[in-house]
Amino acid sequence: MAKLFDIKKDVQHIAEAIASVMGVDVTIVDEDLRRVAGTGGYFESTGEKVDGNSVFRVVLETAVGYMIENPITDKICLKCGAKKHCREFGEVCAPINVKGKAVGVIGLIAFSQEQKNKLFADTDSLMEFLQRMADLIAVKLLEKEKNDHLQLTTKQLETVIDSLEEGIIAVDSFGDIIKFNNIAKKMFHNPSVEMGINIKSLAVNFAELIQLASKGVSIKNREFLYNNNNNLQLRGVASVNPVMVEEELVGLIFIVKNICQVLREVNDVIGSNVNSTSFENIVGESQQLLKVKEEAIKASSSPSTVLIQGESGTGKELFARGIHFSSPRSNKPFVAINCAAIPEQLLESELFGYEGGTFTGAAKGGRSGKFELANSGTIFLDEIGDMPLHLQSKLLRVLQEKKVDRIGSINPIPIDVRIIAATNKNLEEKVALGEFREDLFFRLNVIPINIPPLRERKQDIPVLMHYLLKKCNQKMDKDIKGFGEGVMRIFEEYTWKGNVRELENVIEYAVNMEQGEIIHIENLPTKLKNSNNEKVEPALDRSIIKLEELEKRAIKEALQICDSKDEAAQLLGIGRATLFRKIKQYRL
Ligand SMILES: Nc1ncnc2c1ncn2[C@@H]1O[C@H](COP(=O)(O)OP(=O)(O)OP(=O)(O)O)[C@@H](O)[C@H]1O
């Protein structure tokens, strides 16, 4: 609640007006009995307290006016401490009431008989006049209070919008800037955000956003291009909300962010879903696995590209995570994408993103690809061997130039992403067959990591069994203690085509089936129980290339070396017709 002292100037003006109308001295005190205003001799004593037993206290307490026609003898004057020196001939007091409570008193004092006569000539009219003056002061007080409140709310709002992490720009219905926060000011530099300039000058597509939002529609996350202080073109994301008063558009609020900030936020969310993996989570005691782990630990401190090769389920992704989470990028995003699981047409936009308006049905403002999402972190390109050739060229460009070209864009986006690729295919073979770009292979294969299949490191099987049993127990809230007689031997002799993943699945099956405390042979999947008495087939060597592929490769090479098909057929030791048939068969 505002006090009379806060509107001291106004109160003094009113006191002077009353004095000049009435021809007597006027003083006005507040609820603490402090003199706020005064005319004549009272002016000097503003700010001082009046006597605590004076008529002012009574008027403050009763909130009703009071007249003293005979000072000294009036009952109120009896208690007054100033009565000994009182020079007053009469006094009229009126309360200043706000919401039924007196917050001050207007006092008119006569210092001569003549003044007293004037004061008491028509007391009804005088009281009414004073009441009006008191109301005027009360209105000023309420106004001050409203202004204070408005100022406080404005300050609070300004503090709120300045503490937001987004840029906020308020514009009128024509787009002229009315208000903005610090972040918005920092974001735009050429032209810069200023009061009165039109927001359309800040970014090309703001005109379109104004047009849309002016229809009363809220717009979410639209991309736009703008210039920063180095005159570099940057990407931002804007949401626009219309401000409506009685169904009429009075302005728009733009909420703007730099794309890097948006991606950071996305990554904070995605990143929190990615389990942090340390090398301790990679279990195994065999020399082969320990050697690979050592290589991976070394790779984690380097920014170079890693190519992990290994059969399905050998732990390629586990190693990729291990490398990322032990690297200096560990608190940055780890974004994984399986190049074989996404249809070819979609893979390009998933990886590299696309510009707004590139395809019908696509998000209007464009979309960031996985490379942008992984910026400053690591991207894991699983099943890289299945990446189509035209995307391999695009990936090569990313590796060479450290820039991403969104589909439909002419502005490459600089990125800093560490690439870890993985494949269960023989990439060298794919290169030889012309299915994988040799230059890309060399770019990816800077640090090669080859995870041997489980059959080549049987020593890891028992330790993996116990590790995975513990994992399954936790997952299924069980407490199976170990493995029964003969189980370990079956596991060691079985051919794990699906490697650790298959082993994990078998243990999960057995934990589900087992009711007791130990996993028994009966609770293993049939394929393992049957394998118990069977002789385990020798494992296929991955390095053996199929005859058909060898033939295809030989023909391709001969065609490249020789000037004519006859010559090639001769070199290959086959007839001309056979060569033609094979060329057709292999589509060479
Ligand atoms: N050495 C290991 N220690 C502990 N768990 C492992 C190990 N190797 C693999 N796993 C587990 O096996 C499962 C398969 O691993 P992962 O997905 O990393 O294999 P992958 O080689 O990437 O498979 P794919 O080729 O099918 O993509 C995961 O649950 C993983 O945690």
- Following DSSP, what letter does each residue of 498-525 receive, concatenated? THHHHHHHHHHHHHHH--SSEE-GGGS-
Burial (CB < 10 A; 0-12, 13-18, 19+), residue 342, is: middle
Residue 330 sits in the same domain as residue 375: yes
The one-letter code for the residue type at 431 is V
Residue 568 resides in a domain: yes
**What is the rounded distance in angstroms from the CA atom of residue 131 to the CA atom of residue 144?**
20
- Are 237 and 257 in contact by the 8 Å Cβ rule? The answer is yes
Residue 248 sits in the same domain as residue 317: no
Residue 378 sits in the same domain as residue 515: no
**What is the rounded distance in angstroms from the CA atom of residue 145 to the CA atom of residue 101?**
16
Question: Angle 446-329-276 (CA atoms, 0-180°, nearest 5)?
Answer: 105
Residue 537 is given by DSSP the state: P
The one-letter code for the residue type at 476 is M
pLDDT tier, 537 (very low <50, low <70, confident <90, very high otherwise): very low
* Token couple for 562: 């020789």
- Are 354 and 362 in contact by the 8 Å Cβ rule? The answer is yes
Average pLDDT, the chain: 88
Full residue range of the structural domain in which residue 557 is found: 547-585
For residue range 274-308, list pLDDT tens digits in order: 667 889 999 999 999 999 999 999 999 999 999 99
Residue 486 resides in a domain: yes
- For 291-316, letters b (16+ CB in 10 Å) and e give ebbebbeebbeeeebbbbbbbebbbb
- Are 374 and 230 in contact by the 8 Å Cβ rule? The answer is no
pTM: 0.61
Residue 49: give its domain's CATH number: 3.30.450.40
For residue range 492-504, list pLDDT tens digits in order: 989 898 999 999 9
Please name the residue ranges forming H helices in 357-421: 370-373, 389-401
Residue 355 sits in the same domain as residue 387: yes
* Token couple for 50: 């009046």
Residue 339 sits in the same domain as residue 418: yes
Distance (angstroms) between ligand 1 centre and the Cα of 314 equals 5
Residue 540 resides in a domain: no
Distance (angstroms) between ligand 1 centre and the Cα of 282 equals 9
Residue 519 sits in the same domain as residue 556: no
Residue 322 sits in the same domain as residue 441: yes
**pLDDT above 90: percentage of residues in the chain:** 60
pLDDT tier, 359 (very low <50, low <70, confident <90, very high otherwise): low
Those residues whose C-beta lies under 8 Å from the C-beta of residue 151, and which sit 6 or more positions away, are none
Can you tell me which atom of ligand 1 is nearest the CA of 321? Answer: 18
Among residues 370, 450, 359, the alpha carbon closest in space to that of 407 is found at 359
Q: Does residue 81 surpass a pLDDT of 90?
A: no
What's the number of domains the chain is made of? 5
Residue 76 resides in a domain: yes
Mean per-residue pLDDT for 434-452?
95
Nearest CA to ligand 1 atom 9: 315
Distance (angstroms) between ligand 1 centre and the Cα of 295 equals 17
Residue 306 sits in the same domain as residue 445: yes
Q: What is the largest CA-CA distance in the chain?
A: 145
Distance (angstroms) between ligand 1 centre and the Cα of 500 equals 6
Distance (angstroms) between ligand 1 centre and the Cα of 279 equals 13
Nearest CA to ligand 1 atom 28: 501
For residue range 387-416, list pLDDT tens digits in order: 999 999 999 999 999 999 988 888 888 899
User: Which of 114, 145, 176 is the endpoint of a domain?
Assistant: 145
Residue 306 resides in a domain: yes
pLDDT of residue 560: 75
Mutation pick for ligand 1 pocket among 291, 317, 507 (CB with most ligand atoms within 8 Å): 317
Residue 229: give its domain's CATH number: 3.30.450.20
The one-letter code for the residue type at 105 is V
Distance (angstroms) between ligand 1 centre and the Cα of 422 equals 12
Residue 119 sits in the same domain as residue 249: no
Residue 337 resides in a domain: yes
pLDDT of residue 541: 43
Residue 419 sits in the same domain as residue 490: no
Residue 392: give its domain's CATH number: 3.40.50.300
Q: Does residue 542 surpass a pLDDT of 60?
A: no
Which is it for the CA torsion 380, 385, 388, 390, positive or negative? Answer: positive
Residue 536 resides in a domain: no
Distance (angstroms) between ligand 1 centre and the Cα of 371 equals 24
Residue 224 resides in a domain: yes
pLDDT of residue 111: 92
Cβ < 6 A, ligand 1 pocket: 282-284, 310, 312-318, 382, 424, 467, 500-501, 504
Nearest CA to ligand 1 atom 23: 313
Mutation pick for ligand 1 pocket among 314, 384, 472 (CB with most ligand atoms within 8 Å): 314
Residue 394 sits in the same domain as residue 475: no
Please name the residue ranges forming H helices in 359-418: 370-373, 389-401
Residue 238 sits in the same domain as residue 289: no
**What is the rounded distance in angstroms from the CA atom of residue 557 to the CA atom of residue 84?**
128
